[in-house]
Amino acid sequence: MNNFVISAKRFITNKNTVTIIGVIIILVILYYGYQSTIDSAVNPVKVPQANRMIGPQEEITAEDIKWVEVPSVSKPANAVTNESQIVGKYTAINATIPEGSMFYADVLVEKDELPGTWLKQLKTDVNGVTDKPYYKSVNIITTFGNSIQPGDYIDIYMYAEDESGLLMFGRLIENIQILAVKDSDGADVFTSVESDAKPAFLYYGVPEDLHLLLRKADSDQLQALGVETVVVPHGGTAPITGDVEVSSEYLRDYIDANTFNTPDNDEYLEEIEENGAITIEEEEQ
């Protein structure tokens, strides 16, 4: 028995034995650590994916989500897997979520983080007076091949016929910033997922006096007299088709002289709503 104990002590205290035992322990630890890592990487996890193509600034609902199993290793670090962090969020202004894609934190925003509707971008002067909203019906031709984009500046020209029969032409208003370009369904043309989205309306804001002037110029009363307003990119050249180019003050006087009342405000708001631009409630906010 004593010989066995002595032999055991010699075996344990032998440097080579200690080294071998240490190597075996390390190998066992590495094996189980590696196996655990592999199992963790290949174990399937459920992740939410888009059930449809979700366009810019769209609200995401529970119906837009489907759940699929993927290997853990294939889930990106910035993928959002908590449904409560997806439903009710909006896609960023220039972001789309393709069908079958995961949801990523950098494209999900709260509603109040959106740049807002074009109405929220109306300018307010030093006296706290905010511009009034206005829209203009356009098409692919009158927007110069859809080259007028939000942020661009335009001038508004006007054609008319005076009492002597001469066709008048002049720049009525200049340097107006475009706030939105929408198609006939009210969707933003330049952020739409539809590749063939065509401009139908330009939206912008102008001071109160010019707002009333434009509404008179585009009223049925003046259209019956052959009056037409057109938009031209600021700094661009409008074709002079009239007999004489006149000043904006002359055109303003002509408009005022040929309109006996201001178009009804409620009717104007209803027109905007019918054209898919905004709701009356949004106008009043």
What are residue 211's phi and psi, to 5 degrees? -60, -45
Q: What's the predicted TM-score (pTM) here?
A: 0.54
Model confidence over 121-163: pLDDT tens digits? Answer: 888 888 888 889 999 999 999 999 999 998 888 989 998 877 7
Residue 39 lies in a domain: no
Give yes or no: residues 19 and 51 share one domain: no
Domains: count for the chain:
3
Same domain (yes/no): 49, 68: yes
Whether residue 23 is found in the same domain as residue 146: no
- Quick one: tokens of 37? 């890592």
Range among 15-24, 211-220, 228-237 rated most confident: 211-220
Helical segments of the chain, H only: 2-13, 15-42, 208-217, 220-223, 248-257, 265-274, 280-284
Per-residue pLDDT band for 282 (boundaries 50, 70, 90) equals: very low
- Domain span at residue 187? 118-284
* Same domain, residue pair 27 and 91: no
**Domain identity same for 92 and 155:** no
| pLDDT classification of 279: cutoffs 50, 70, 90 | very low
| pLDDT value at 277 more than 80 | no
Q: What does each C-alpha distance from 201 to 134, 216, 275 come to in angstroms? A: 10, 18, 9
Residues 51-85: tens digit of each pLDDT:
999 888 788 999 999 999 888 777 788 889 899 99
Q: Are residues 134 and 151 both part of a single domain?
A: yes
Mark which of 113, 142, 161 sits at the end of a domain. Answer: 113
Does one domain contain both 55 and 92?
yes
Whether 38 maps to a domain, the answer reads: no
Q: Which residue has the higher pLDDT, 246 or 280?
A: 246
